[in-house]
Structure 1
Amino acid sequence: MGIFVVKALFFFLSIFLVIVIDQWTKLSVLSHFEYGESLPVIQNFFSITYVRNTGAAFGFLASANPGFRVPFFLIVPLIAMVVLGFLYRDLPKDARYRSMALGLVSGGAFGNLIDRVRLGYVVDFLDCHWKTDYYFPAFNVADSAICVGVAILLLSTFKQTRDLTHVSTPVRN
């Protein structure tokens, strides 16, 4: 299998798997939970809780005027996916992990965009908390894929930068 095919496989398979798993889990929550309903999975630590997020990460802009918020959250992901497509195109042919990372981010952005277009909000349901003292904002598979993809991109960038700074130079006499 050619290197280009492997790069494309990592990218498009990542997008496909994220969208399928994300949408399947959200449909499961929508069909089995009432809005606000919570099911403890690990007592005092993790629950499945059906939340509607009209904002972005951590509810950012959730209370903004819908005349601004709705178009903003439809246009920004589309622009992001175009930018990610250009980044993918410019990757070296052997950049499998960065290709997969861009696929994770793209799949996550597309998964949440599907919710916004179909429902007008994003379905969040993964609810991490510490007893009743601290609650991390609920999130979903798409959000997780975006975070993991960004982490892989950052790590690969740091590794690439480190590798470039540690290139041995010939000793001159």
Structure 2
Amino acid sequence: MNTPSLTNWPARLGYLLAVGGAWFAADQVTKQMARDGAKRPVAVFDSWWHFHYVENRAGAFGLFSSFGEEWRMPFFYVVGAICIVLLIGYYFYTPPTMKLQRWSLATMIGGALGNYVDRVRLRYVVDFVSWHVGDRFYWPSFNIADTAVVVGAALMILESFREPRQQLSPG
């Protein structure tokens, strides 16, 4: 059984706070900007990208939108907290040599915290990025925290396909 390496844990914690904190701060600042000014859509590229303020009371892609708030909110609080704790635990179990995986985990933690704070503070998640193709296909609105989680997860998947750096020598 692997145990978390407490070697240089202050540096590991500092790295987690720097990377995860940067994503969290970017998420919270942009959400505040969206709340302050984007009550109407703002075109970035008129044919496919707008900033459009949305209060998302459901989960990703509208999951659990049919559930009553008395069930939905406790579910999001509990599952969100469990996910954040597991990500933090996994971060500290990750060897220092796996730099991309540590960056990915810190990125996901920052994003997960950004959306979790919204749920606890506002009872909804602020989304504001709207991508679409013409007037036919609309991707669900999202935010910087969602981007952090997706980028972090995608990089972890890519990392899993890389060759291990150290091979055990035979015999």
TM-score category by the smaller chain? 0.7 to 0.9
Contact kept in structure 2, 1:47 and 1:128, CA below 8 Å: yes
Contact kept in structure 2, 1:108 and 1:143, CA below 8 Å: yes
Q: Which residue of 2 aligns with 1:114?
A: 117
| CA distance, structure 1, for counterparts of residue 50 and residue 73 of structure 2 | 29
TM-score by length of 2: 0.87
TM-score by length of 1: 0.87
Alignment length, in residue pairs? 165
Amino acid at match of 2:77: L
Q: Which residue of 2 aligns with 1:101?
A: 104
Q: Which residue of 1 aligns with 2:37?
A: 32
Q: Which runs of 5+ in 2 are unaligned?
A: 1-6
Identity %: 32
User: SS of 2:75's equivalent?
Assistant: helix
Contact kept in structure 2, 1:6 and 1:96, CA below 8 Å: no
| CA distance, structure 1, for counterparts of residue 154 and residue 77 of structure 2 | 24
Q: Which residue of 1 aligns with 2:65?
A: 62
| CA distance, structure 1, for counterparts of residue 42 and residue 123 of structure 2 | 24
Summarize deviations over 1:52-111 as a string: whole Å, max 9, x none: 111111111122111110001111110001111211121112222111111111111110
Which one of 134, 142, 164 corresponds to residue 131 of structure 1?
Answer: 134
Contact kept in structure 1, 2:19 and 2:103, CA below 8 Å: yes
1:16 matched to 2:17? The reply is no
Contact kept in structure 2, 1:127 and 1:138, CA below 8 Å: yes
Supply the RMSD in Å over aligned alpha carbons. 2.1
| CA distance, structure 1, for counterparts of residue 9 and residue 160 of structure 2 | 20
User: SS of 1:58's equivalent?
Assistant: helix
Q: Which residue of 2 aligns with 1:163?
A: 164
User: SS of 2:164's equivalent?
Assistant: helix
Q: Highest CA radius of gyration, 1 or 2?
A: 1
Q: Which runs of 5+ in 1 are unaligned?
A: none
Contact kept in structure 1, 2:42 and 2:50, CA below 8 Å: yes
